[in-house]
């Protein structure tokens, strides 16, 4: 463990003490959000993302150590573990290196070398591979191993068998494989061709004749090629300049001046072309895929975070429209808390008469319930529904706005067991309309009900290692929920189970307790929930808000263990809890600074990072970090692609960030692409500048109505 701590300390450039504290807290069952928020003094204020990277790396090193021990034990059981080999295994820095060292001792399937050994040809192979200067010529040495009874009819057959054994030995050389692996990664080329001589046009056309150095190929290119291969449209391989590879192989195996030198050289070349090269190509392709997967998962997580953290449009009656052709447009009206007030189905796409009937029906609902905003799903028939909505707003006389909402995952949610439990009286389609309305009101509370990978802000999510993808995205959801905090008296079980320290079972118990005993009146009362013990309470308490509590601290991010410190701070600064409740502590930060943060922290019995957090929470009880972000764009009019002209300036919302650019919603029902080359400054990746949900200014560069493509730029016309 100490070795791991020192290695992680170097890799993350953090004090070993901080690393040790994090690993200890994780072993004790503390969650990442809890460690990040309430144990800052122990780890130097690392954020949740860095803590997750540290935990992942620590897990890899733990698995590496375990595999080293297993390999040593397996070789030792064969009586072949030398001190030198054991030291090499312990020094191996990656799982690939450990497997290379284990390769000669691993139980193999029946190979040509296995057959040769059964024929008694291993001594001949050893003799020739030793390459002694006094060794007899190979043909002469092989004559002694001709044995028809064992299936060796001639000296040539004996030499062939010995060559197969030598080739396998060379192939199993860990140092050689490492050299060739590094050569492949440094100088290899990934090549992709069309599987057919005259391929049809497809999304893979860019890869019909594609080549790129392995060390420069992009993750999205690898994933596209992999999928094209799986669909039988592409064929791909990794090529390394054979001359360089063969030189490395010969240098590792051939000793000049021996009569058997030519024999060993031929065996070495056979080892490379028949055994090493195909094996290494599979390894390199697997490595590239793994790197591409990790990059895509990272990008997915990066996009998911701002999507979940989109500012809510709170407290207003909202109408959700789930567009459709054949089944009509499903309608749900929800109040400011998300409670369903009314539902309907209208058919605006079935003809002029039905469109008028739809506008009339929706107008009645708007006036009856005081609807302020309309959320429109962006799926089938969304364009026609948006046009109808604009006409509806005009006829109602204003005071109403709309927003196109991503309905990714809405159908998954509406058909789920969770949705059936939440809305047993509604059919699947109406549940989707409710979900769309609530996504505008509080994106986080609604999106946590959906499997993260179904939310649709990444690339090739169905090709990813699903367990790894789920782990990464669940971590993002957990971090977002805990960063915002959860109202314990209104939150759904699906939201509560994402709170640090709670599980699906304890979240359900909490809701059941609330339904049976009424709203919680304090954080302490949470301890009465069945199966929610002191450890779980410690982890979850700071993230649960109780607005109905008599103490204002229960509606802040201040952890109960720091209540005494918070009260001491207020006393020292001349304030009371009543001042906090009334919002009359605007100068708290200045007064604390005047007293000296170090001195104040010591007098309050906490560290400076915790004291800083307490001050921030006391200044804004019940604060929602999403309120500090730019609000979403609400529209009252609609444009179409035909209205777009090159040079036109527009405001848009970033919908997806990918390797080669960003997709932006500019209000025309077709997201435009800002290619990475059209960003305002040069970056390695678009995520360095933009995140999902950012509101940006763009200019139209080109419009292709036939292919429904819009090219945008963030460079002002004339700036190049």
Calculate what percentage of the chain has a pLDDT beyond 90: 68
Reported as a single tens digit per residue, the pLDDT across 513-539 is: 999 999 999 999 999 999 999 999 999
Check: CB of residue 61 under 8 Å from CB of residue 7. Answer: yes
Residue 458 has pLDDT above 80, yes or no: no
User: What whole-number distance in Å separates Cα of residue 618 and Cα of residue 614?
Assistant: 6
User: What whole-number distance in Å separates Cα of residue 145 and Cα of residue 216?
Assistant: 51
Number of helices followed by number of strands (H, E) in the chain: 31, 15
CA atoms within 13 A on the CB side of 126: 5
Residue 459 has pLDDT above 70, yes or no: no
Reported as a single tens digit per residue, the pLDDT across 29-73 is: 999 999 999 999 999 999 999 999 999 999 999 999 999 999 999
Residue 39: the pLDDT is 96
CATH 1.10.10.650 residue spans of the chain: 2-105
C-alpha R_g of the chain: 33
CATH fit for domain 641-713, picks 2.40.50.140, 3.10.310.70, 2.40.30.30, 3.40.50.720: 2.40.50.140
Residue 705: the pLDDT is 82
CATH code for the domain defined by 318-477: 3.30.420.140
CA angle 83, 88, 89 (to 5 degrees): 100
Euclidean distance between the first and the last CA atom of the chain, given in angstroms as a whole number: 55
Instruction: Tell me what percent of the chain is helix, strand and coil, each rounded to the nearest 5.
Output: 55, 10, 30
What is the SS3 assignment for 705? coil
What is the SS3 assignment for 466? helix
Q: Which two structure tokens, joined as six digits, stand for 615?
A: 């001050």
Write out the DSSP string of 660-689.
TEEEEE-SSSS-EEEEGGGSSS--SSGGGT
The CATH class that applies to domain 516-628 reads: mainly alpha
Interacting residues of 177 by C-beta distance below 8 A, sequence separation 6+: 100, 103, 171, 276, 280
Residue 383: the pLDDT is 80
What is the SS3 assignment for 216? coil
- Using the CB atoms, write b or e for 119-157: b if 16+ within 10 Å: bbbbebbebbbebeeebeebeebbeebeeeeeebeebeb
Reported as a single tens digit per residue, the pLDDT across 112-150 is: 999 999 999 999 999 999 999 888 999 999 999 999 999
Reported as a single tens digit per residue, the pLDDT across 214-230 is: 999 998 899 999 999 99
Calculate what percentage of the chain has a pLDDT beyond 70: 98
CATH 1.10.3500.10 residue spans of the chain: 112-188+240-300
Interacting residues of 394 by C-beta distance below 8 A, sequence separation 6+: none
Band of residue 636 on the pLDDT scale cut at 50, 70, 90: low
Residue 168 has pLDDT above 70, yes or no: yes
Among the listed residues 179, 448, 438, 151, the one whose alpha carbon sits nearest the alpha carbon of residue 319: 438
Band of residue 374 on the pLDDT scale cut at 50, 70, 90: very high
Residue 106: the pLDDT is 87
CA angle 654, 655, 658 (to 5 degrees): 90
Among the listed residues 440, 485, 427, the one whose alpha carbon sits nearest the alpha carbon of residue 334: 440
The overall average pLDDT reported for the chain is 91
User: What whole-number distance in Å separates Cα of residue 619 and Cα of residue 593?
Assistant: 14
Check: CB of residue 697 under 8 Å from CB of residue 649. Answer: yes
CATH 3.30.420.140 residue spans of the chain: 318-477
The CATH homologous superfamily of the domain defined by 2-105: RuvA domain 2-like (1.10.10.650)
Reported as a single tens digit per residue, the pLDDT across 499-516 is: 999 999 999 999 999 999
If you search the block for the tokens 């527009």, which residue do you land on? 650
**Comparing 24-33, 100-109, 368-377, which segment has the lowest mean pLDDT?**
100-109
Check: CB of residue 301 under 8 Å from CB of residue 476. Answer: yes
Write out the DSSP string of 25-53.
HHHTT--HHHHHHH-HHHHTS--HHHHHH
Residue 456 has pLDDT above 70, yes or no: no
Per residue, the 3-state secondary structure of 337-355, as one string, reads CCCEEEEEEECCCCCHHHH
Alpha carbon distances (Å) from 514 to 35, 336, 510, 526, 530: 28, 21, 6, 10, 12
- As a whole number, mean pLDDT of residues 674-688 equals 91
Residue 720 has pLDDT above 60, yes or no: no
CATH fit for domain 112-188+240-300, picks 1.10.10.10, 1.10.3500.10, 3.40.50.300, 3.40.50.150: 1.10.3500.10
What is the SS3 assignment for 375? strand
Check: CB of residue 452 under 8 Å from CB of residue 477. Answer: yes
Interacting residues of 388 by C-beta distance below 8 A, sequence separation 6+: 348, 355, 358, 359
Which bin fits 257, alpha (ψ -120 to 50), beta or left (φ > 0)?
left
* Better-predicted residue by pLDDT, 381 or 357: 357
Band of residue 641 on the pLDDT scale cut at 50, 70, 90: confident
What is the SS3 assignment for 699? strand
CATH 2.40.50.140 residue spans of the chain: 641-713
**Comparing 275-284, 335-344, 381-390, 633-642, which segment has the lowest mean pLDDT?**
633-642
Alpha carbon distances (Å) from 694 to 345, 657, 669: 33, 11, 18
């Amino acid at each position: 463990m100490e070795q791991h701590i020192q290695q992680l300390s170097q890799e993350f450039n953090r004090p070993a003490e901080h690393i040790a504290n994090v690993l200890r807290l994780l072993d004790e069952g503390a969650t990442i959000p809890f460690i990040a928020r309430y144990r800052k003094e122990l780890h130097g204020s690392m954020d949740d993302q860095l803590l997750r990277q540290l935990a992942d790396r620590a897990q890899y090193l733990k698995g590496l150590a375990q595999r080293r021990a297993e390999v040593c034990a397996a070789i030792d059981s064969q009586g072949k573990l030398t001190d030198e080999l054991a030291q090499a295994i312990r020094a191996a820095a990656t799982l690939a290196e450990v497997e290379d060292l284990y390769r000669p001792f691993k139980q193999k399937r029946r190979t040509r070398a296995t057959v040769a050994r059964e024929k008694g040809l291993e001594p001949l192979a050893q003799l020739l591979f030793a390459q002694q200067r006094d060794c007899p010529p190979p043909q002469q040495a092989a004559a002694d191993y001709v044995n028809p009874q064992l299936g060796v009819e001639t000296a040539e057959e004996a030499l062939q068998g010995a060559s197969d054994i030598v080739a396998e030995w060379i192939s199993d050389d860990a140092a050689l494989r490492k050299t060739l692996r590094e050569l492949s990664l440094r100088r290899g080329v990934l090549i992709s061709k069309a599987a057919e001589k005259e391929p049809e046009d497809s999304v893979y056309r860019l890869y019909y004749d594609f080549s790129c150095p392995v060390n420069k190929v992009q993750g999205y290119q690898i994933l596209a090629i992999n999928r094209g291969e799986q669909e039988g449209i592409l064929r791909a391989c990794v090529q390394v300049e054979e001359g360089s590879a063969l030189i490395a192989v010969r240098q590792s195996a051939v000793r000049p001046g021996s009569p058997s030198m030519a024999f060993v050289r031929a065996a070495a070349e056979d080892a490379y072309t028949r055994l090493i090269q195909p094996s290494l190509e599979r390894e390199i392709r697997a490595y590239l895929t793994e790197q591409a997967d990790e990059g895509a998962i990272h990008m997915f997580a990066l996009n998911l975070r701002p999507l979940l953290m989109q500012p809510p449009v709170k407290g207003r009656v909202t109408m959700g429209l789930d567009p459709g052709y054949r089944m009509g447009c499903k309608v749900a009206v929800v109040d400011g808390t998300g409670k369903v007030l009314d539902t309907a189905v209208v058919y605006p796409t079935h003809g002029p008469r039905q469109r008028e009937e739809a506008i009339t029906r929706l107008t009645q609902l708007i006036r009856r319930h005081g609807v302020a905003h309309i959320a429109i799903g962006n799926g089938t028939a969304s364009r026609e529904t948006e046009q109808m909505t604009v006409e509806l707003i005009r006829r109602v006389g204003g005071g109403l706005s709309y927003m196109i909402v991503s309905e990714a995952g809405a159908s998954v949610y509406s058909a789920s067991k969770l949705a059936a439990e939440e809305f047993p009286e509604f059919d699947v389609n109406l549940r989707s309309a409710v979900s769309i309305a609530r996504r505008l009101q509080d994106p986080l509370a609604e999106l946590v009900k959906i499997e993260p990978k179904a939310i649709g802000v990444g690339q090739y999510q169905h090709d990813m290692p699903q367990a790894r993808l789920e782990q990464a995205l669940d971590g993002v959801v957990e971090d977002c929920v805990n960063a915002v905090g959860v109202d314990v008296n209104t939150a759904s079980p699906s939201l509560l189970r994402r709170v640090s320290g709670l599980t699906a079972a304890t979240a359900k118990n909490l809701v059941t307790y609330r339904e049976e005993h009424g709203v919680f009146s304090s954080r302490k009362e949470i301890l009465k929930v069945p199966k929610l013990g002191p450890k779980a309470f410690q982890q979850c308490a700071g993230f649960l808000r109780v607005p109905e509590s008599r103490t204002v601290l229960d509606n802040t991010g201040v952890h109960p263990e720091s209540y005494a410190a918070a009260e001491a701070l207020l006393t020292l600064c001349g304030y009371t809890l009543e001042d906090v409740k009334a919002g009359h502590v605007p100068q708290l930060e200045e007064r604390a600074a005047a007293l000296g943060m170090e001195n104040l922290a010591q007098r309050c019995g906490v560290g400076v990072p915790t004291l800083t957090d307490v001050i921030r929470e006391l200044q804004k009880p019940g604060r929602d970090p999403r309120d500090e972000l730019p609000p979403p764009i609400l529209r009252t009019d609609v444009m179409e692609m035909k209205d777009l002209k090159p040079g036109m300036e527009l405001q848009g919302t970033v919908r997806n960030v990918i390797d080669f650019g960003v997709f932006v919603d500019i209000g025309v029902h077709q997201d435009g692409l800002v290619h990475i080359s059209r960003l305002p400054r040069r970056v390695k990746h678009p995520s360095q500048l933009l995140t999902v949900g950012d509101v940006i200014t763009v200019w139209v560069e080109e419009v292709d109505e036939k292919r429904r493509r819009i090219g945008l730029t963030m460079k002002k016309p004339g700036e190049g």
